[in-house]
């Protein structure tokens, strides 16, 4: 059985989009960056820890394959996770306004026999935002559970001028790379029967 170690509705939607059957096994881990940890190492560590934690919690770990994933926004060499408050979200959006940043997503797929971790980076360029726009966007509530305080697949789409790279990576799961990884673990994509 294949499990998704995430409560993210976006990751559920993306896996469903490519016809992957899965069960949910969300986990809660400490997502604090370690001292001196760069973005790639950070998201890869968290993705793997999520998958390992979920696998250890299952009743049938011998038969299970688990996917863990983590997404972070990087600007000025700083890791930007989910905002802690509206004020924090505002600071992040002001920093992103008119600037280029990177979105890193790591995907870890593990079983008791093997584990693979990959990460993908996408460049995102924001248009210049007014303070009124930033406040109005925060008032929608959408930024509060998103890395970097925005969701490209939602209302935040109008904040983005353009991207270079994988769109689904910015949403939270790079589908091309994820599908290839799942195939290595004999997890089918484009399956006719879906479940979530």
What burial letters (b/e) apply to 58-71, b meaning 16+ CB within 10 Å? beeeeebbbbbbbb
Is 70 among the catalytic positions?
Answer: yes
Positive or negative, the CA dihedral 76, 80, 84, 89 is positive
* Nearest partner of 160 among 170, 168, 169, judged by Cα: 170
The single residue of 70, 76, 135, 193 carrying the catalytic annotation is: 70
Residue given tokens 């008032």 in the structure block: 139
Ordered DSSP codes for 11-76: HHHHHHHTT---EE-------PPPTT--HHHHHHHHHHHHHHHHHHH-S-GGG-EEEEEEEEEEET
CA 175 – CA 168 distance, rounded (Å) = 6
Catalytic residues: 70
């Amino acid at each position: 059985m294949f499990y998704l170690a995430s409560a993210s509705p976006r990751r559920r939607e993306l896996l469903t989009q490519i016809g992957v059957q899965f069960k949910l096994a969300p986990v809660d881990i400490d997502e604090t960056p370690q001292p001196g940890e760069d973005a790639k190492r950070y998201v890869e560590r968290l993705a793997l820890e999520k998958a390992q934690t979920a696998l250890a919690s299952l009743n049938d770990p011998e038969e299970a394959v688990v996917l863990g994933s983590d997404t972070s926004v990087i600007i000025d060499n700083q890791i930007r996770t989910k905002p802690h408050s509206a004020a924090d979200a505002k600071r992040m959006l002001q920093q992103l306004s008119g600037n280029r940043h990177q979105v890193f997503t790591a995907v870890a797929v593990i079983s008791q026999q093997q584990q693979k971790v990959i990460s993908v980076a996408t460049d995102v360029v924001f248009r210049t935002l007014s303070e009124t726009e930033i406040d109005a966007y925060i008032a929608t509530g959408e930024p509060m559970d998103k890395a970097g305080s925005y969701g490209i697949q939602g209302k935040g789409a109008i904040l983005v001028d353009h991207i270079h790279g994988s769109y689904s990576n910015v949403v939270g799961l790079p589908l091309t790379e994820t599908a290839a990884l799942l195939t290595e673990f004999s997890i089918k994509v484009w399956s006719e029967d879906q479940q979530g």
